[in-house]
Chain A
Amino acid sequence: DAGVTQSPTHLIKTRGQQVTLRCSPKSGHDTVSWYQQALGQGPQFIFQYYEEEERQRGNFPDRFSGHQFPNYSSELNVNALLLGDSALYLCASSNTPFGDRESRGYGYTFGSGTRLTVV
């Protein structure tokens, strides 16, 4: 049973360019969250997608956008890359059952991330 799959594993981009990162959730999961982890820091929440819509967003500029597909996979797009966007981008999948209050945060499965370097 595959866990969360992220691609690519590493990426080098130039300032000003655009990048797309991809995430396939764990089998049976329907919700995808994205986190940015700068070197030596804890992950920071970017946004969460459920039913192909952005359900909650963290404190990130509009340059960060996403999409969720009918098969629950997701993309993270970052436009006009800055040096400060260099980080490990983590995808987490989960399930949102009916009455999801008790499930909050439970069962988040993280991928190994995409290491983005902006030069």
Chain B
Amino acid sequence: AQKVTQAQTEISVVEKEDVTLDCVYETRDTTYYLFWYKQPPSGELVFLIRRNSFDEQNEISGRYSWNFQKSTSSFNFTITASQVVDSAVYFCALIRDSSYKLIFGSGTRLLVRP
């Protein structure tokens, strides 16, 4: 069975702090894709990143960085120097190569206080 676990239900930090959101996944497939989405209060899911199972290189995009480790089935997301605008719910998701279904974790609510 495929599953995505985000153990952190809610995280609260003060602006400019670094914060890491954890994601652990389960799948028996060798080919799969991992995602992070941001959901602001308006409701729409905003795509942040997609990684395939063959590419374990870490990625950095501005203040965002992602650490993909197949050995521990983790795909963690770090925000450096957090800002109030980063406050949102963040979802990690998985899609199998044989499927069109995104499997989401339960999300982590991030609150960045001024």
Residues of A near any B CB (own CB < 8 A): 3-4, 33, 35, 40-45, 48, 55-56, 58, 88, 90, 92, 101, 104-113, 115
Q: How far is the CB of B82 from chain A (nearest CB, A)?
A: 22
Q: How far is the CB of B9 from chain A (nearest CB, A)?
A: 9
For the complex of A and B, the 5 pairs showing the least CB-CB separation, nearest first, are: A42-B104, A110-B45, A105-B95, A45-B101, A112-B44
The complex places the Cα of A20 from the Cα of B37 at a distance, in Å, of 27
The complex places the Cα of A111 from the Cα of B104 at a distance, in Å, of 16
Decide: B103 and A45 in contact? CB cutoff 8 A.
yes
Decide: B44 and A48 in contact? CB cutoff 8 A.
no
**Could you write out 16 A-B pairs with CB less than 8 Å apart?**
A33-B100, A41-B107, A43-B45, A45-B101, A45-B103, A90-B43, A90-B44, A92-B102, A104-B33, A104-B95, A104-B99, A105-B50, A105-B93, A107-B47, A110-B45, A113-B44
Of A43, A48, A101, A104, most buried by chain B (CB within 10 Å of CB) is A104
Interface 1/0 per residue, B10-42 and A, CB below 8 Å: 000000000000000000000001010100001
Given contact pairs A42-B4, A92-B45, A112-B42, a sample of 15 additional A-B residue pairs in the complex whose CB atoms are under 8 Å apart:
A40-B106, A41-B107, A42-B93, A42-B104, A42-B106, A42-B107, A43-B102, A55-B100, A101-B97, A105-B93, A105-B102, A108-B45, A111-B44, A113-B43, A115-B43
